[in-house]
Amino acid sequence: MEVDSGYLQHQRLPNDAKLEDVEALLGLSGTSLDKQSLTQPIPTAEDKWQLLPAFLRVKGLVKQHIDSFNYFIEVDLKKIVKANELVTSDIDPGFYLKYTGIRVQMPERVDPDAANRSITPHECRLRDMTYAAPIAVDIEYTRGKHRVIRKSVVIGRMPIMLRSARCVLTGRNEAEMAEMKECPLDPGGYFVVRGTERVILVQEQITKNRIIVQVEKGTMVASVTSTTHERKSMTYVTFKNDRLYLKHNMISEEVPLVVAMRAMGMTSDKEIAQLIAGVDPLYLEMLAPTLEEGASSKLFTQRAALDFIGAKTKAGARRFGAPKRQPHEDALDALANVVLCHVPVNGADFRGKCVYIAMMARRVLQAVGRKEMADDKDYLGNKRLELAGQLIALLFEDLFKRFNSDLKINIDKVLKKPNLAQAFDAYNQLMCHGDLITQGLTRAISTGNWSLKRFKMDRAGVTHILSRLSYISALGMMTRISSQFEKTRKVSGPRALQPSQWGMLCPADTPEGELCGLVKNLALMTHITTDDEEEPIRRAAFALGVEDAALITGAELHAQGTHIVFMNGLILGIIRSAQRFVRQFRVLRRSGRIPAFVSIYIDDHRRTVNISADGGRICRPLIIVEKGQSRVRDEHIQKLMAGKLQFDDFLRLGLVEYLDVNEENDCMIAIYPNEIKPYTTHLEIEPFTLLGAVAGLIPYPHHNQSPRNTYQSAMGKQAIGAIAYNQLNRIDTLLYLMVYPQQPMVKTKTIELINFDKLPAGQNGSVFVMSYSGYDIEDALVINKSSLDRGFGRCQVMRKFTAIVRKYANNTHDRIIGPPRQVDGTIPERFALLDDDGMAAPGTRLENGQVYLNKQSPVDGGNDINAGIGVGGAGAAAVEYRPTPLTFKYPDHGYVDKVMITTSESDQTLIKFLLRQTRRPELGDKFSSRHGQKGVCGIIVQQEDMPFTDRGIYPDIIMNPHGFPSRMTVGKLMEFVASKAGAVKGELQYGTCFGGSKMEDMCRILVENGFSYTGKDYVTSGITGEPVGAYIFNGCTYYQRLKHMVADKMHARARGPRAVLTRQPTEGRSRDGGLRLGEMEKDCLIGYGASMLLLERLMVSSDVFEVHVCEMCGYIGYKGWCQMCRSSKSMVPIKIPYACKLLFQELQAMNIMPRLVMEDI
Amino acid sequence: MSSQAQYGVQKSMTGVKKTGSQMSYLCAACAKPTEIKPKEPIRCHDCGHRILYKKRTPRMVQFEAR
């Protein structure tokens, strides 16, 4: 160690000259450092938060999905095709088919006779279609003796992510968006598959191709998950009984490390010792038992070691017909291609792999006895996030390979025929398989089942339906990260908040309960990287003085003062002056010579320099600080606000850079400009960005108890409000809309950034904090009836009902007919609303039980495909129909909002009804403020009975003060005061985290306008007319109406439907089910001794059944006849539960004979 | 199922059958009224768009303002 103590070694001399050169290069030298001002304290840019909206325009929140998908479409797709470009034939050696190019076109409709080929996502949603674009390939193949080239052959359709490079919405302005019936504020990043919006959630995984050292079952283990395009495998180096072993799934037992190294051609003990231990006597001593075991194994040659390992190698599935291999060949193959498969082996040169294994061994030895040298799996730098693009790439690769192998089989089949009439054209074969890729992709996305045989991957629930409950819930879903850990595990590690999550993942937004801490959300400024090209970076590293690992012995590798350089987890070489190397590397990156998302950091404990350019790392932008001064100045911000600079220009000018978690750990980041010290390297853009989009709605969250912010993060997604600008054009299964949504009086910067003020979910209510009526206990709210009349909390519920006019195999089809007439020519009440076309028109009021679509289906032949064809004409002549109408099933009335008639992709008529109900708040409806303070409406009071201030201010809501002491939501009190002040003065206030309007200013506004600075006012009781005995704290608070409404939940049943099998009452509100007297309730009654009550509840009110039992044989018989005894002598009627009778019969079916023995009681 | 069903069935069978005269619908793209006969493909005669909306009811609708 050169310099031991902490941060000092991280100081980096700013290389001004170089940066200025870069600026000059870019023609922006005027903006660079002012020489004079360097000597004086410079006022740092006050509006540096303006960088945030600029950032969100190019990156952040949903952009990672889009970037990842774009990367797949533009880069990964081409790579996949390149890797699988050739299709040959086993029959005709002269035949080949080669893919020379691939591209995804713009979304197109499948409808062949459409004039306008382009399709909008909105039309796909309405018509239950898939928003997909043709995948076109260029091919080159042989037809007979000729070579044929065909361009743009469509091999399938790729679902297109909204707002991606291939989406029709990209780059459109608001007017064009409106033209396409699309909301300009919609984030995109999801797919429309078969009419439903589906999101591929971000998946969190442990990083691949990196060494992770951990204690497992008491032994120190270094493990690596190697992944290449072909395979995935796990390799371990363990430390057992003071000896090192190599472990791998392909090899049945642990192999002594030295033997493994010898098998890879490293037969010299000295070389092995040097690679692992260098010249350090401490490590050499620890290594001694391992070497000794190697010596005593008597396997001194490579061949001997290979034979030894080969005997233990599980022979992989050998290709059919291939000759059986010798054990040593098996071993060599396994070591070369399976063990640590991500480390390249050139021919028989195993040296790279040996060095890698030695590195693993060294890491184990380092960690033995020193726990702090082991890695932390929960550390965010050891995690990678898998995005839509990567998941689809995996899927596409699998499908493409299958497509090609199917193609090959079919080509072989044709070529096998002895003499073809005409020259074989592979193009026709190619066209036959059109559906494989399309189907595979749409099915995976619409079901969420990702099953890839190659990687033994079988994941369910990868995609989810985009929740459109509110704008926030949709946005929250796009930033969600699901973890691959099983939730049953008791360990708290993966669930705990990791310090490295700072600024990357939101500390507040996680669900409660079993998924707590496993489902996370991205913070506002995070970006997830995509793969960068390795080769240029490698060349840059060598140019900066890295010595190639292939040229170095172990002694040099671990020499004092040198650092080992890793590139994406692979050993690149060594560097003797790591500090300088890293500094220069960063200068190159800041000047744009190296991609911005490549990270580099020094690991002092392990004396390594790590360069990462792989995808899935979480990173965020920070302002660069040099010589104790922020690189971003006022002039930059002014240019930014004037639109002369964009965020990417800041990046290019070296004012701002992206840091990933690992590099962040290698930097000194000041949160505020006044905290900048000489050793500071970076400055936060804005501290409130450590919260995510959903937690960002909370005003003054830094004054709340932390769980309250978590509760609000969960509840904010249930708030009813505006969903999108196109909300009235959408036909969703269930849509809650608020009638008069308002933007909050106390906003936050986040609210403006994510456009919550344009699509709000809630209303500002006048709130008094006092006790009133006794109907306000347990967080219940008292609501002003006049406020409800004025529209407070009013919402609309829109529900979709779909009917498909089906065609059946026997030539019959559903029909929709006008209302039936009675003999006197009148229309029955229940059909009264139907028009001549059998549908109710928009605007019609529907009551319970009324028919709004009079559909009929054929009685026969419906689902039975075989029945049809032969009978043929049956459809034409006398088809019997049974009514299958759609009836309105809700107790309250509703209206038909919209009726849409269209055809789906499969050319079936599709009719969608949108039914609307308007709901004013009623007793039991749920409300919440933005501080995790939820409550139900406890009583609705006439305004005349409500308390009022001397200015005549009435509350909309009265809240019980008991809600405050235990919850400690001080932020809510502050919101009260701030929004009261805002309302009084007529301006909006800010409650941004770590900032916002100051309480002192708010109180001053109140005083200036004749209110008390405490927020309390004199109040007169509306009931007695006397003054209330205390000053009442009142103000204005943003209240959200939550989706839980009594109208959707109320349920009671006296008699009703029963299940067919058991004859017990059905279960659930939707089936008009009974209310269950469960096990625990049963126990209460038993304990109390109410046996007759029990009997009534469990039998009489449920499934009582009278059976006749024969007293002689104990069997159940007929009334007055026992078939068993052939007698009518002793039949007794008894009442038993039907389920009990069922049990007896089932037992009899199993040859068990239950007998009933009768007795008098 | 659908592939088999297509034999012998007119492609344009919608199944919308009415007793009286043909009904008029509004095109979602050009908002022009389009008359559709039963068994006719659902398509705007004017612009060819395939989504049609039903017209608002001519009956009087009375709302209770509460």
Q: What is the mean pLDDT of residues A13-34?
A: 43
State phi, psi for A1027 to the nearest 5 degrees. Answer: -65, 140
Identify which has the larger pLDDT, A48 or A1086. Answer: A1086
pLDDT of A1031 > 90? The answer is yes
User: pLDDT tens for residues A694-710?
Assistant: 999 999 999 999 999 99
Q: Do A809 and B1 touch (CB under 8 A)?
A: yes
Most distant pair of Cα atoms in chain A: their distance: 120
Residue-level pLDDT at A741: 95
Position A210: which residue type? R
* Selection from A314-323, A431-440, A514-523 with the highest mean pLDDT: A514-523
Provide the chain A residues 795-834 that lie in CB contact (below 8 A) with chain B.
805, 807-809, 811, 813-818
Q: Which residue has the higher pLDDT, A1102 or A866?
A: A1102
Nearest CA in chain A to B25: A901
pLDDT bracket for residue A206 (50, 70, 90): confident
CA dihedral over A1121, A1126, A1129, A1134, signed as positive or negative: negative
Give me the percent of chain A exceeding a pLDDT of 70: 92
Given CATH 2.40.160.40, say whether it is the number of domain A695-718+741-794+922-1038.
Answer: no
Cβ contact (<8 Å) for B66 and A920?
yes
Close Cβ partners of A298 (under 8 Å, ≥ 6 residues apart)? A304
Angle of CA points A729, A732, A735, to nearest 5°: 95
Mutate to test the interface with A, among B2, B50, B52, B64 (most CBs of A within 10 A): B50
Query: A1015 near A982, Cβ under 8 Å?
Result: no
**Residue A12 above 50 pLDDT?**
no
pLDDT tens digits for range A866-884: 444 444 444 445 678 888 9
Quote the CA–CA distance of A731 and A721 in Å, as a whole number. Answer: 16
Mean pLDDT of A347-368: 87
**Measuring CA to CA, how many Å separate A52 from each of A174, A311, A640, A751?**
22, 61, 11, 13
Flag residues of chain B having pLDDT under 70: 1-22, 66
At B11-23, the pLDDT tens digits run 334 444 444 456 8
Residue range A1074-1085, pLDDT digits in tens: 999 999 999 999
Model pLDDT, residue A421? 67
Check residues A904 and A446 and name the one with the higher pLDDT: A446
- Residue B14, pLDDT score: 44
CA–CA distance from A403 to each of A81, A155, A398, A400, A438 (Å)? 12, 9, 9, 5, 11
d(C-alpha A351, C-alpha A571), whole Å: 11
Using CB atoms and an 8 Å cut-off, which of residues 877-906 of chain A contact chain B?
Answer: 895-896, 898-903, 906
Domains A695-718+741-794+922-1038 and A803-822+831-919 belong to one CATH topology? no
* Number of C-beta neighbours around residue A358 at 10 A: 26
Residue in B closest to A785 by C-alpha: B66
Q: Does domain A63-194+385-450 bear CATH number 3.90.1100.10?
A: yes
Cβ(A938)–Cβ(A776) under 8 Å? yes
Highest mean pLDDT among A36-45, A53-62, A1110-1119: A1110-1119
The residue ranking higher by pLDDT, A217 or A511, is A511
Active site residue A779: yes
Give the range among A151-165, A316-330, A427-441 with minimum mean pLDDT.
A316-330
ipTM above 0.85 for this complex: no
| Higher per-residue confidence, A1138 vs A95 | A1138
Q: Is the pLDDT of residue A604 over 50?
A: yes
Contact A1037, A978 (CB under 8 A): no
Nearest to A814 among B1, B15, B59 (CB): B15
CB A600 within 8 A of CB A586: yes
Which of A792, A835, A901 to mutate against chain B (most B CBs within 10 Å)? Answer: A901
pLDDT at residue A25 in the model: 41
Cβ atoms within 10 Å, residue A516: 12
The residue that leads in pLDDT, A430 or A150, is: A150
Please check whether residue B59 touches A, CB under 8 A. Answer: yes
- Residue A378: the pLDDT is 87
SS3 content of chain B, % helix, strand, coil (to 5): 5, 20, 75
Q: Do residues A183 and A190 lie in contact, with contact meaning Cβ atoms separated by under 8 Å?
A: no
Q: Comparing A115 with A366, which gets the higher pLDDT?
A: A366
Residues 6+ apart with CB under 8 A from B53: A842, A898, A899, A900, A901, B25, B26, B27, B28
The chain-wide mean pLDDT, for chain A, equals 87
CA gap A733, A1144 in Å, rounded: 44
Q: Give A422's DSSP letter.
A: S
Q: Which domains does chain B have, with CATH numbers?
A: 14-55 (2.20.28.30)
Q: Which chain A residues contact residue B13 at CB under 8 A?
A: 807, 813
Place of tokens 């970006």: A527
Token pair recorded at residue B62: 């009375």
User: What mean pLDDT do residues A183-202 have?
Assistant: 93
Q: Which long-range contacts (CB under 8 A, 24 or more apart) does A637-645 make?
A: A637/A45, A637/A46, A637/A47, A637/A48, A637/A50, A637/A51, A639/A31, A640/A50, A640/A51, A640/A54, A641/A47, A641/A50
- Marked catalytic residue, from A111, A406, A532, A779: A779
Fold of A211-341: 3.90.1110
pLDDT at A667 over 70: yes
C-alpha to C-alpha distance for A564 and A569, rounded to whole angstroms: 11
- Cβ neighbourhood burial of A796 (10 Å; 0-12, 13-18, 19+): middle
| Calpha distance A526→A504 (Å, rounded) | 6
A914-939 pLDDT per residue, tens:
999 999 999 999 999 999 999 999 99
Chain A residues 920-939 with a CB less than 8 Å from chain B:
920
> Cα dihedral sign for A720, A723, A728, A734?
negative
Distance from the A913 Cα atom to the nearest Cα atom in chain B, whole angstroms: 10
Q: A837 vs B18: CB contact, 8 Å cut-off?
A: yes
The ranges assigned to domains in chain A are 63-194+385-450, 211-341, 695-718+741-794+922-1038, 803-822+831-919, 1103-1161
CATH for the A803-822+831-919 domain, from 1.50.10.20, 3.20.20.150, 2.40.50.150, 1.20.140.10: 2.40.50.150
What is the per-residue pLDDT across A246-265, written as a single tens digit (0 to 9) for each?
999 888 888 898 888 888 88
What's the confidence (pLDDT) of residue A318?
A: 55
Provide φ and ψ at A804, rounded to 5°: -110, 130
Query: For A34-43, A207-216, A279-288, A653-662, which range has the lowest pLDDT when averaged over its residues?
Result: A34-43
Instruction: Summarize the confidence of residues A1106-1115 as an average pLDDT.
Output: 92
pLDDT at A705: 95
Residue A785 in contact with partner chain B when CB distance is under 8 A = no
What is the β-pairing status of strands A629-630 and A618-626? antiparallel
Q: Does A1004 contact B at CB distance below 8 Å?
A: no
Architecture (CATH level 2) of domain A1103-1161: Alpha-Beta Complex (3.90)
Residue A649, classed as helix, strand or coil, is helix
Confidence of residue A279 (pLDDT cuts 50, 70, 90): confident
